[in-house]
Amino acid sequence: MARGSSILMAIIPLKSKFKRLLERMRDWSTAASANEVKSFKHDQEIEAAYDSRVRGVRTIPLEQIVGSVGRYRDFDNHFRLKQKAPSERLQWVKKAMREGRPLPPVKLYQIKDAFYVLDGNHRIAAAKELGHDEILADIVEFIPSENKLQNVLYRERAAFADDTQLPREIKLTEIGQYDLLMDQIRQHWRHLEAEGQTDVTREAAARDWYDSIYRPLCAIIQRGRLIESFPERTIADLYLYISQHQWQIGRRRQYGIGIDKLIPKDMEAFRTKMADMKECGYPEMQRGITAFILMNVQAKREDKIVEKLFGLEEVREIHSVHGDVDLLVKVKLTRDLLSSDAEMISHFVHEKVRQLAGVVTTKTLIPGFSKSKD
């Protein structure tokens, strides 16, 4: 019994040491993996992405190149070579890039929004080290097969890319919306044929739609900074929302008619209008609003309220008046054409005026017609 106890007492420390060693090895392995670029094979298995599509040559943001097909252990997670000695190949590629010498496109595999290097690891490393933003790449895309919501959307995007062969991806965030874009392309295709262009292919019609309709409207949306009001959406989402409500008969709009002055209510009329414009001349999707706010305030806080109001960028004039109200405030707001005047003014008054301590009541007046002179 005593002998058994002594053996047990000897085993316990050994088990503890062995456990600590395993934990240390696991930590080393995790740290090593975290310091490597991603493995394509590993991510391919996780996504069950085995069905492939040839996407051709495109310009790809370097920040989306996150892994390698065969050399993921040779580079750290910033695509720097792990070996301390400088690579002759890397130095040659960097020199060629600095001198502007043409280099062939790198070859990449794609899964969703991530890219993995099949050929061109040194060119990627050099481009990142030199501070480049993009690189020309020949792409083969692998499509995830699991029926997750995100994968269904991704497969719809891939199918749209197959059908249209557009030079850049169009990213929508809701399922079933790519069919609406295809409807626009088919409508535009019929229009081109009606103009006498009988030999137009679907891909050519899609490219013309992309260049003459989709991109101009996206540029207008971007200049109007509409995306700032919809942080969970993409420019493509806003394009589809506006174009569907503007160009599809029977779609009820939830925004004002001011947009009609910028965007005709017919898709082909919009194309014609944009054809003679350069991008810098595209109209702004913003307009100014002038409003007057009548305020009743507590007498003892009036001076502080005036001071705070005058510090607001939107406030142009403040007048202390006699009569039924204490203050008359003139404001100028800027709104995008998807919002209404009442919506913007209500938001401003509630968020920036009514919140001031000492404000008793407010009443807002919107001019229907104005004339002024200096």
| Residue spans of the chain under pLDDT 70 | 1-36, 72, 77-78, 82-86, 249-262, 276-287, 335-341, 343, 374
Of 95, 112, 146, which residue sits at a domain end? 146
Q: Give the separation between CA 243 and CA 122, rounded to whole angstroms.
A: 44
Query: Is residue 291 domain-resident?
Result: yes
Q: Which phi and psi angles does 186 have, rounded to 5°? A: -65, -40
Query: Is residue 156 domain-resident?
Result: no
- 45: part of which helix (H) or strand (E)? helix 40-47
Looking at the fold, whether 275 and 300 belong to one and the same domain comes out as no
Q: Give the separation between CA 312 and CA 307, rounded to whole angstroms.
A: 9
For residue 182, with 0-12 CB atoms within 10 Å meaning exposed, 13-18 middle and 19 or more buried, which class applies? middle
Q: What is the pLDDT of residues 332-363, one digit of tens each?
A: 987 655 556 676 788 788 888 988 988 999 99
Predicted local confidence at residue 170, as pLDDT: 93
Query: Is residue 267 domain-resident?
Result: yes
Looking at the fold, whether 310 and 271 belong to one and the same domain comes out as no
Query: Is residue 132 domain-resident?
Result: yes
Predicted local confidence at residue 32, as pLDDT: 42
CATH number at residue 325: 3.30.70.920
Looking at the fold, whether 182 and 274 belong to one and the same domain comes out as yes
Nearest alpha-carbon partner for 87 in 36, 123, 54: 123
Query: Is residue 128 domain-resident?
Result: yes
Predicted local confidence at residue 351, as pLDDT: 84
Looking at the fold, whether 299 and 338 belong to one and the same domain comes out as yes
Q: Helix/strand/coil (H, E, C) string of 283-306?
A: CCCEEEEEEEEEEEECHHHHHHHH
CATH number at residue 76: 3.90.1530.10
Looking at the fold, whether 277 and 293 belong to one and the same domain comes out as no
How many C-alpha atoms does 168 have within 13 Å on its Cβ side? 11
Looking at the fold, whether 142 and 113 belong to one and the same domain comes out as yes
pTM: 0.56
Query: Is residue 311 domain-resident?
Result: yes
Predicted local confidence at residue 182, as pLDDT: 95
Predicted local confidence at residue 191, as pLDDT: 93
Split into its structural domains, the chain has a count of 3
Predicted local confidence at residue 306, as pLDDT: 94
Q: Tell me which residue range forms the domain holding 45.
A: 38-146
From residue 113, how far is each of 55, 67, 93, 99, 107 by CA, in Å? Answer: 13, 12, 26, 31, 16
Query: Is residue 296 domain-resident?
Result: yes
Q: Which phi and psi angles does 296 have, rounded to 5°? A: -110, 130
Task: Find out whether 130 and 94 touch, Cβ atoms under 8 Å.
Answer: yes
Number of Cβ atoms within 10 Å of the Cβ of 315: 19
Nearest alpha-carbon partner for 132 in 123, 140, 141: 123
Looking at the fold, whether 174 and 274 belong to one and the same domain comes out as yes
Looking at the fold, whether 297 and 330 belong to one and the same domain comes out as yes
Looking at the fold, whether 169 and 275 belong to one and the same domain comes out as yes
Predicted local confidence at residue 252, as pLDDT: 53
Predicted local confidence at residue 26, as pLDDT: 53
Query: Is residue 19 domain-resident?
Result: no
Looking at the fold, whether 220 and 295 belong to one and the same domain comes out as no
Of 146, 181, 204, which residue sits at a domain end? 146
Looking at the fold, whether 213 and 275 belong to one and the same domain comes out as yes
Looking at the fold, whether 239 and 308 belong to one and the same domain comes out as no
In one-letter notation, the amino acid at residue 341 is D
Of 281, 309, 326, which residue sits at a domain end? 281
